[in-house]
Structure 1
Amino acid sequence: MEALVTLFADPAVWAALLTLLVMEIVLGIDNLIFISILSNKLPEAQRQKARRIGIGLALIMRLALLSTIAWLVGLTEPVFDLGFEGGPGYNGQPTYETVFSWRDIILIAGGLFLVWKATKEIHHVADPATDDGVFDTGRKALTFGAVIAQILLLDVVFSIDSILTAVGMTDHLPVMVIAVVVAVLVMLLAADPLANFIRDNPTVVMLALGFLLMIGAVLIADGFGVHVPKGYIYTAMAFSAGIEGLNIWARRGKRRTAPEPGQ
């Protein structure tokens, strides 16, 4: 306890905590959008339970990874590399080389899954018909277990990205734990309102799926060593969400001023 009091008496620690907390909440948005979209595909009675379990698994995953920081940092060690020989000025050394770690492999796999899932859902939203042109009202719904399994898979990817970000920003484990727990609690509070908003505004579904598609592409790029500053990604997402918010506001204004039937 005395060590904690001494630690948090340092203003620099509070600054690190605030910065990390904001970063963890922002990173949690990706996780939350995916959970919201998947849970909305379940029957109404199961949606909230799926969201609670998904976010609970995210917290457990993050805390478990924090308890194995040494192993987690080891995931950034090179596993294999791809080199390409030849080309102008070839001197016997690879002219292009990409080194992959387990972190990179996990990010690429998670990114591919997100791209596949988002593309599949976009196709269904844009063209909800079978091959013979008949509207697919009997499309098989996802089971509760299938939804939880998919949420768990992406929880692993997002948790590794989240904790590695925390490790890179501070050396103090208590600061990491507090930031992670608070960020997940914010996710828990925002889960139902976000999921209900997505459900009640069909055009937002396509926007959210577009976000997931972009996030998947960024994860794949990151896995291949191409770092895209997340500030650019979240600024683009915030701008798109702002435009969609204006569209929703405009549509509601038109409905309020529209004449009643028969007038």
Structure 2
Amino acid sequence: MESLIELFSQPATWAALITLIAMEVVLGIDNLIFISILTNKLPEHQREKGRRIGIGLALIMRLGLLATVAFIVTLVEPVIEVFGQGFSWRDIILIAGGLFLVWKATKEIHHSVDPAPSGDVFDTSRVVMTFGAAITQIILLDLVFSIDSIITAVGMTEHVPIMVVAVVVAVLCMLLAANPLANFIDKNPTVVMLALGFLLMIGTTLIAEGFGAHVPKGYIYAAMAFSILVEVLNILSRRAKQRSQGKKD
């Protein structure tokens, strides 16, 4: 306890904590978008439960990985070599997770543009996934995002208590943002395509990083922020037109 008090009495500790919390929250956005899209395909009464389970599993995985920091560090050591390129377990996991994200996003985009049986291509009320299938896919991607998150944390600080606090705060932020984000996506169906585009971009980035090509996260999130701004302007424009037409009628 005394060592913890001494650790958190240092200004450098708080600076590292704030920086790591911000990084973990940003990394958690990717995870949350995927969870929101998947759970919106469940029956309405199961959606909130699915989000809570998905985010809860993300927290459990992150804390579980933090308990094995010594093992996590070994994940960045090359275990196989292909055509002169060394691959670590982290690289293999990132490539597999990226391929899964690209496959999943492509499949969902196909379902969105292909005419639905009901005639509404953006009918989010139509149940197209079972609860078990959604949770299984969330677990797979939670694992990928958790490993990436913890390896990032290990690279930023050597103090496990700081990592634990940052991870818990970031996951709590995910929990608070889960329902508003999912509801916003559900009420604005065109946002689904934007979110799927994000998943494609994130999946491609994971694959690139798995092959050793570092992609600065700042560029990725700047592009996402700009896309969101454009979509928000489009939504406001559509609503303004709807109000104008309503007054005319």
Q: Distance in 2 between matches of 1:260 and 1:181?
A: 48
Q: Distance in 1 between matches of 2:30 and 2:120?
A: 31
1:135 Cα deviation (Å)?
8.0
* Structure 1, gaps ≥5 residues long: 84-96
Pairing partner for 2:186 from 199, 215, 220: 199
Q: Distance in 1 between matches of 2:174 and 2:55?
A: 7
TM-score if structure 2 supplies the norm length? 0.95
Which residue number corresponds to residue 48 of structure 1?
48
Which residue number corresponds to residue 176 of structure 1?
163
- Root-mean-square deviation (CA, aligned residues, Å) is 1.6
1:81 Cα deviation (Å)?
1.0
The letter of the residue matching 1:99 is G
* Secondary structure of 1:42's aligned partner: coil
Q: Distance in 2 between matches of 1:16 and 1:135?
A: 49
Q: How does 1:1-263 map to 2 (within 5 A)?
A: 1-83=1-83, 97-129=84-116, 141-260=128-247, 263=249
* Structure 2, gaps ≥5 residues long: none
Q: Distance in 1 between matches of 2:29 and 2:116?
A: 31
* Secondary structure of 2:80's aligned partner: strand
TM-score if structure 1 supplies the norm length? 0.90
The letter of the residue matching 1:27 is L
1:128 Cα deviation (Å)?
2.7
Q: Distance in 1 between matches of 2:229 and 2:127?
A: 34
Note closer, same or farther for the CA distance 1:175–1:135 as it changes in structure 2 (3 Å cut): closer
Q: Deviations over 1:18-52 (max 9, x none)?
A: 00000000000000000000000000000000000
Larger radius of gyration: 1
Q: Deviations over 1:148-176 (max 9, x none)?
A: 00000000000000000000000111100
| Amino-acid identity (%) | 71
Note closer, same or farther for the CA distance 1:41–1:129 as it changes in structure 2 (3 Å cut): closer
1:2 Cα deviation (Å)?
1.1
Structure number with higher helix proportion: 2
- Deviating beyond 4 angstroms after TM superposition, the runs of 4 or more aligned structure 1 residues are 134-137
* Secondary structure of 1:258's aligned partner: helix
Counting matched residue pairs gives 245
